[in-house]
């Protein structure tokens, strides 16, 4: 299977071939994703919520992002390995941003970083790209702005807000991003942006008109049956399956049915 590069993603957009993307936080899942040839493997800072149990993505640290990127990297993904820059690890000073992104690339082994925002991060994006670090943008519902947004709310429903997101997408394109995640915006707006920018758009809760789609892997696998946002399609119900396995195991150990002689060294 071919390794996916930023250039290949642009070619896919031009050829009308949909881009597949999933979040990934550990070696075992990365190993399985590789079998399927997922195009973009994102070590998202959703890591903080779905794997580390934080309330939101704000507390996630660069060290945590690096540790999990290293684990994913050990599976030698064929998809492009992108890692989120966590809250306030970028757009502070140019030097600090470059140091943080540099660590994610050098120590983690990521091939690109993702950061949230439009116009306010444009200079940061340019600086990283000038220093040979490819950047993926992220617009719309940007979880690191949860306190400013007042919750996880669809963005761009009002005309002025929609126009601002279109402008931000054009600004990010001009700054040199190789792709833009569009999260939690109306489908029509996402389709309009997809037509207006030359770089691929990757949607999550943004309808079918994007160049590709991304989901949080734990959500699409049904790892938490109490969590089901409208935009998520569950491709498995793993929580149920795992509970069944744990129960069977516990019962069999208690009853002396496991291990049998066959399951011993």
Catalytic residues: 183
**Residue nearer to ligand KIV on the CB measure, 113 or 197:** 113
In terms of CB distance, is 143 or 243 closer to ligand KIV? 143
Q: Which residues contact 238 (CB under 8 A, 6 or more apart)?
A: 221, 222, 223
Q: Which stretch binds ligand KIV (CB under 6 A): 43-51, 185-193, 223-231, 244-252?
A: 43-51
- Beta strands 19-23 and 40-43 are parallel
Q: How far is the CB of 40 from ligand KIV (least distance, A)?
A: 10
Which distant-in-sequence residues (6+ apart) come within 8 Å of 15 by Cβ?
none
Residue 211 C-beta: closest distance to ligand KIV, Å: 14
Decide whether 70 or 261 has the Cβ nearer to ligand KIV. 70
Instruction: Report the first-to-last Cα separation within the chain, whole angstroms.
Output: 37
Q: Does 216 bind ligand KIV (CB under 6 A)?
A: yes
Per CB under 6 A, does 173 bind ligand KIV? Answer: no
Binding piece for ligand KIV, criterion CB under 6 A, among 42-50, 85-93, 122-130, 192-200:
42-50
Q: Are 83 and 111 in contact (CB under 8 A)?
A: no
Using CA atoms, how far apart are residues 111 and 163, in angstroms rounded to an integer?
Answer: 31
* Span from 26-34, 41-49, 154-162, 250-258 in contact with ligand KIV (CB under 6 A): 41-49
Residues 89-148 that bind ligand KIV (CB under 6 A): 138
Asked if 108 contacts 69 with a C-beta cutoff of 8 angstroms, the reply is yes
Q: Which stretch binds ligand KIV (CB under 6 A): 40-48, 156-164, 170-178, 255-263?
A: 40-48
Distance CA 244, CA 242 (A): 5
- Is residue 29 close enough to count as binding ligand KIV by CB under 6 A? no
Q: Is 46 in the site for ligand KIV (CB under 6 A)?
A: yes
**Per CB under 6 A, does 211 bind ligand KIV?**
no
Beta strands in the chain (DSSP E): 19-23, 40-43, 80-84, 112-114, 135-140, 179-183, 201-204, 212-215
Residues 17 and 7: their CA atoms lie apart, in Å, by 14
Interface positions with ligand KIV (CB under 6 A) = 23, 44-46, 84, 138, 181, 183, 204, 214, 216
């Amino acid at each position: 299977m071919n390794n996916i590069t930023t250039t290949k993603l642009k070619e896919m957009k031009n050829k009308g071939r949909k881009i597949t993307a999933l979040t990934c936080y550990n070696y075992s899942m990365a190993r399985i994703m590789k079998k399927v040839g997922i195009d973009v493997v994102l070590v998202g800072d959703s890591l903080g919520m779905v794997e580390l149990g934080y309330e939101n993505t704000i507390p996630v640290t660069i060290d945590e992002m690096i540790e999990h990127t290293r684990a994913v990297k050990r599976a030698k993904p064929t998809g492009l390995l992108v890692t989120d820059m966590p809250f306030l690890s970028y757009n502070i000073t140019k030097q600090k941003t470059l140091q943080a992104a540099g660590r994610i690339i050098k120590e983690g082994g990521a091939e690109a970083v993702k950061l949230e925002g439009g116009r306010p991060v444009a200079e940061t994006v340019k600086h990283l790209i000038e220093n040979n670090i490819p950047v993926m943008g992220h617009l719309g519902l940007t979880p690191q702005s949860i306190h400013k947004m007042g919750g996880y709310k669809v963005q761009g429903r009002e005309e002025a807000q929609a126009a601002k997101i279109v402008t931000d997408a054009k600004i990010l394109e001009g700054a040199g991003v190789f792709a833009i995640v569009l999260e939690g915006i109306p489908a029509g707006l996402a389709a309009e942006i997809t037509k207006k920018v030359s770089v691929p758009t990757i949607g999550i809760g943004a309808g079918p008109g994007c160049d590709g789609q991304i989901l949080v892997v734990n959500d699409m696998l049904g790892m938490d049956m109490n969590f089901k946002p409208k935009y998520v399609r569950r491709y498995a119900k793993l929580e149920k399956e795992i509970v069944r396995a744990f129960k069977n195991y516990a019962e069999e150990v208690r009853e002396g049915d496991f291990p049998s002689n066959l399951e011993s060294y």
